[in-house]
Chains A and B, each alone.
Chain A
Amino acid sequence: MLSSFLTNRATGWEIIAPNLTITIFGLLTFAAVIFLMFVIGERSNVKAQEWIKYLVFLAPALVLLTIGLIYPAIRTLILSFMDARSETFIGLDNYVWAFTRPEILIVLRNTVIWTLAVPIFSTSIGLAIAYFTDRMKRGAWVKSLIFMPMAISFVGASIIWRFVYQYEPNLKKEDIGLMSAIAKALGVEDPPNWLLEAPTNTFLLIAVMVWIQTGFAMVVLGAAMKNIPDEIVEASMLDGASQWRRFSQITVPMIRATIVVVVTTVLIGTLKVFDIVRTMTGGNFQTNVIANEMFNQAFQQRNFGTGSALAILLFIGVIPIVIYNIRQLRRERTER
């Protein structure tokens, strides 16, 4: 036992040592480059600084964004019109493939369901909790608990929920999954194998994402509610408005802009969701979504054509949001 422990430690250290070296080397190199640039920058005369400043401050980000985001996005667009090995141009075949293959149609349908359900549920539950806790005594710890899943990785969250959905085929044995135990307590005699039954399983995966995103919606919407002037709330109280009326006719309209931001942020995050589907079901049992299928096509089937076409479909999903956001930003800037 002890000897095996020691040899394990040895192999561990043999792997860690070079990795540690490269990490420290990477950080030191980076620091040295920055230091050197500042030394040169500060020593050079006023006139030279006028162009050195662009080189040091702006150029690194622009170069990285061009090589790392803009070029790859254009390249992916081109690859989506080419065959699996990126050798011949095949026109729209990859897109025709995406819209005719039954299993890919399910993938597209699921992605639509995700992008509708997650923003709607997480925003409305988040809105409700934000309203409930707005003037609640000791509401902080309630918010903390609901916010906590934001800190957990999608992989971690998937393990947590797989355990909740765990199925026990032998009816004589005790359930270890919470979901089945609750179902039996409620009188369901033979609860299904939750993650295998379509279409329920897609919604059970969606629940995981809602569980994570609700905290985000709650915190952002809660902060917006704090900005509603007290006088308005007081006036409505004097008018004898009911809780529900106050919520629907004052709170919601006053924070409308923030609600839109929350919905779009959650929507973008949901489009890209990959880890949950991959960890919970591997995309099987009709639960697949575009982001996961894109990974399968590109990195497991090694088909860069279909993989790229799916990535472009994801991008088409966010284009309306990009346009809307830029318009909003323009308007805000001119208002200032």
Chain B
Amino acid sequence: MTALAPKPSGLQLTKGRKKMKDVFSSPWASFAAIVIAIVWTVPTFGLLVTSFRPKSDIVTSGWWTFFSDPNVTSENYQSVFLQGNAVTPPLSQYIFNSFAITIPAAVFPLTIAVFAAYALAWFEFKGRDFIFFTIFALQVIPLQLTLIPLLQLFARGQIAGVQVLPDMEITGSYIPIWIAHTIFGLPLAIFLLHNFLRQIPRELVEAARVDGAGWFMLFRKIIFPLSLPAIASFAIFQFLWVWNDLLVGLTFGGGVREIAPLTVRLAEMVGTRGSGWEVLTAGAFVSMIVPLIVFFALQKYFVRGLLAGSVKG
């Protein structure tokens, strides 16, 4: 993160950069960038256009013909939103589920991670580096490696065949999904927040300690308020990751429709109605709208979080 802070540059340098911009920006490079951007956007744009076309048009002509013969309907959205029954609920039900899964699954890991990051950054104890390196290494553990034992633990409360927890009958509720997302989000969250918390000036922390602030008050009064920007960055990350996740929702949801998130329902719709494009395009767009709003509104924080994890000077 330090490497990212803009270098203090004098007036002259700034001027130089501006001048260079004119010399450097080759029209060919800009042209190529614009072409790539268009190619990258066309598939999504096609989906959006299709979702507003009547079914009869969708199956008989390409979406690009829409512009010569515009024919708009909101029927597809109405049908995915409202039509349904107890067996196949409408998408509005799944939107609710996605929120009910995502909000706690972002709040829980962030809180626990900022606690752990605080401990690892500011408590002096033996084995601190070992724990930190282990957590860092855990970041890359494939989710798949943990699925079977973790599911058995949730289903029966057993670790290696030994009963450690009472049978809580939480399968089929949001709880296993929340816990799973919390666990899987922790390593990266702790790592990023730790890097951030370590940069809080030592004098500030020591001054507070001298003034008689205990470890809890120190966290509440100084560490937490100062780490809010980093927390915000990671919150967006975790939110998008959980909202867009399929594997955890599919496995830890236990195949129960009442609690399944949008992604699970969409994947199922592709399986059963693989070419029902009027519902698939509208459904896909419904699932994308929340992350896209978050993304465009908070892009700056999202990018900041991304860079904290990966740029090395």
Contact = CB atoms under 8 A, between A and B. Distances in A.
Nearest to A267: B140
A234 to B, nearest CB: 7
Interface residues of B, number: 137
A308 B142 contact: no
B284 A159 contact: yes
B33 A272 contact: no
A314 interface: yes
Interface in B169-192: 173-175, 178-180, 182-184, 186-187, 190
B42 A178 contact: yes
B40 A211 contact: yes
A154 interface: yes
Task: Report which residue of B24, B148, B274 has the largest number of chain A beta carbons within 10 angstroms of its beta carbon.
Answer: B148
B46 A79 contact: no
Interface stretch (A90-98, A198-206, A274-282): A274-282
Given A71-B149, A278-B246, A46 B214 contact: yes
Interface residues of A, number: 129
A304 to B, nearest CB: 5
Contacts of B247: 274-275, 295
Given A23-B100, A211-B40, A152 B244 contact: yes
B281 interface: yes
B4 A230 contact: no
Interface string B146-181: 111110010000011000000000000111001110
A104 interface: no
Interface string A3-24: 0010010011001100110110
Nearest to A161: B43
A152 B148 contact: no
Contacts of B228: none
A197 interface: no
A287 interface: no
A161 B83 CA distance: 26
Contact of B258 (A19, A135, A159, A175): A19
Contacts of B274: 162
B306 interface: yes
Interface in A230-246: 230, 233-234, 237, 243
A60 B108 CA distance: 11
A144 interface: yes
Interface string A151-169: 1111110111111101000
Contacts of B70: none
B312 interface: yes
A32 interface: no
Contacts of B62: 174-178, 181
A155 B267 contact: yes
A336 to B, nearest CB: 10
B142 A151 contact: no
Nearest to B143: A272
B41 A145 contact: yes
B119 A230 contact: no
A61 to B, nearest CB: 4
Contacts of B42: 178
Contact of B288 (A67, A156, A294): A156
B207 interface: no
Contacts of A69: 138, 141, 146, 183-184, 187
Contacts of B123: 53-54, 57-58
Contacts of A53: 119, 123, 215-216
19 contacts: A8-B82, A12-B92, A27-B104, A42-B216, A56-B216, A58-B123, A64-B183, A64-B186, A69-B187, A79-B148, A132-B32, A145-B37, A145-B41, A152-B292, A155-B267, A160-B47, A163-B47, A261-B312, A326-B137
Given A57-B118, A163-B280, A299-B251, 6 more contacts: A61-B116, A76-B146, A144-B299, A151-B292, A176-B60, A321-B140
Interface of B: 3-4, 7, 9, 13, 16-17, 20-21, 23-26, 29-30, 32-34, 36-38, 40-44, 46-47, 50, 58-65, 82-86, 89-90, 92-93, 96-97, 100, 103-104, 107-108, 111-113, 115-116, 118-120, 123, 125, 131, 133, 135-138, 140-150, 153, 159-160, 173-175, 178-180, 182-184, 186-187, 190, 214-217, 219-220, 240, 243-247, 251, 258-259, 263, 266-267, 270-271, 274-275, 277, 280-281, 283-284, 287-288, 291-292, 294-296, 299, 303, 306-307, 310-313
Interface of A: 5, 8, 11-12, 15-16, 19-20, 22-23, 26-27, 30, 34, 38, 41-42, 46, 49, 53-54, 56-58, 60-62, 64-65, 67-73, 75-76, 79, 125, 128-129, 131-137, 139, 141-142, 144-156, 158-164, 166, 173-178, 181, 211, 214, 216, 219-220, 223-224, 227, 229-230, 233-234, 237, 243, 257-258, 261-262, 265, 268, 271-272, 274-275, 278-279, 282, 291, 294-295, 298-299, 304, 307-308, 310-312, 314-315, 318, 321-322, 325-326, 328-330, 332
